[in-house]
């Protein structure tokens, strides 16, 4: 019941300002003026405690960490004090060259290690890249080969097709032949494609026209 009341309150608490920009948001929590739910009133959340041994270990670690950090702080504070001290600065200036040399030496050592590692990695990377390039090259060659084959086939096909073509030197002959064969288009065709010649046809009647309309069976019987 209370939940229903709460829900209704939540709904009523949705703000709809009357300005032109519509801003609407839903509450993500219970309004503060609504009391704690009765079902939750006497519910004490169970606190999970670690076993005693683990707790002891945790405490030990924490204490040790605190002590170590504290000592580090104290030590560093002392060091900083010496650095700030003018005499201390003068005293350390004597060994500056030696220190710089040692630093350079250490740096070179680290650089050598890093260089070796980088060269190794680079070599591996290069092998990989080389393989990729070779594979790509192979693929391209294969593609080119296929393309050439296709072109050749196309050329062959065209040559075969042109074998029956009219040549320039045969042109007159072909024209004469065509003129000699008179074709008479003076005929009738019905919906089934039957040709009905006229009474006075002179030349050869042409083939029945291949028209989809005539080749299809008529819907209504003729």
Partner 1 sequence: MVRLDLFSQMAKVIVYPVSSSTGGGYLKRREKVIRLALKGCANRPFFHVVITNKWRPRDAPPYEQVGTYDPMPNEENQKLLSLNLERIRYWIGRGTTFSSPMEDLLGRIGFLPINPYAQRNAWKLRRAAAKELQEQLEKEKTAEGEKS
* 188 bridge partner residues: 196
Minimum CB–partner distance for residue 129 and partner 1 (Å): 14
Stretch that binds partner 1, among 79-87, 107-115, 178-186, 191-199 (CB under 8 A): 79-87
Minimum CB–partner distance for residue 76 and partner 1 (Å): 4
How, if at all, do strands 187-189 and 183-184 pair? Answer: unpaired
* 103 touches partner 1 by CB under 8 A: no
Q: Closer CB to partner 1, residue 65 or residue 126?
A: 65
Contact characters 45-74, partner 1, x per CB under 8 A: ----------xx-xx-xxxxxx-xxx-xx-
Q: Is the Cβ–Cβ distance between 187 and 199 less than 8 Å?
A: no
Tell me the C-alpha distance between 55 and 62, whole Å. 10
Strands, E, within 26-175: which ranges?
none
Tell me the C-alpha distance between 134 and 127, whole Å. 11
Distance between alpha carbon 164 and the CA centroid of its chain, in Å?
Answer: 54
Minimum CB–partner distance for residue 60 and partner 1 (Å): 8
Q: Which residues bind partner 1 (CB under 8 A)?
A: 55-56, 58-59, 61-66, 68-70, 72-73, 76-81, 83, 121
């Amino acid at each position: 019941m209370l939940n229903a009341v709460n829900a209704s309150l939540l709904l009523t608490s949705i703000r709809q300002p009357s300005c032109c920009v519509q801003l609407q948001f839903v509450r993500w929590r219970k309004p503060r003026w609504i009391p704690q739910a009765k079902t939750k009133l006497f519910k004490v959340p169970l606190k999970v405690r670690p076993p005693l041994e683990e707790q002891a270990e945790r405490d030990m670690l924490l204490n040790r960490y605190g002590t170590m950090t504290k000592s580090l702080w104290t030590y560093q504070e002392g060091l900083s004090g010496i650095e700030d001290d003018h005499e201390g600065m003068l005293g350390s200036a004597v060994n500056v060259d030696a220190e710089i040399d040692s630093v350079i030496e250490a740096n070179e050592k680290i650089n050598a290690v890093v260089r070796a590692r980088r060269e190794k990695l680079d070599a591996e990377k290069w092998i990989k890249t080389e393989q990729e390039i070779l594979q790509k090259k192979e693929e391209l060659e294969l593609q080119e080969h296929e393309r050439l084959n296709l072109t050749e086939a196309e050329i062959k096909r065209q040559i075969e097709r042109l074998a029956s073509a009219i040549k320039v030197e045969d042109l007159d002959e072909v024209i004469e032949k065509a003129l000699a064969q008179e074709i008479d288009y003076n005929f009738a065709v019905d919906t089934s494609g039957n040709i009905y010649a006229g009474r006075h046809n002179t030349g050869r009647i042409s083939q029945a026209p291949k028209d989809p309309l005539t080749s299809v069976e008529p819907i209504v019987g003729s």
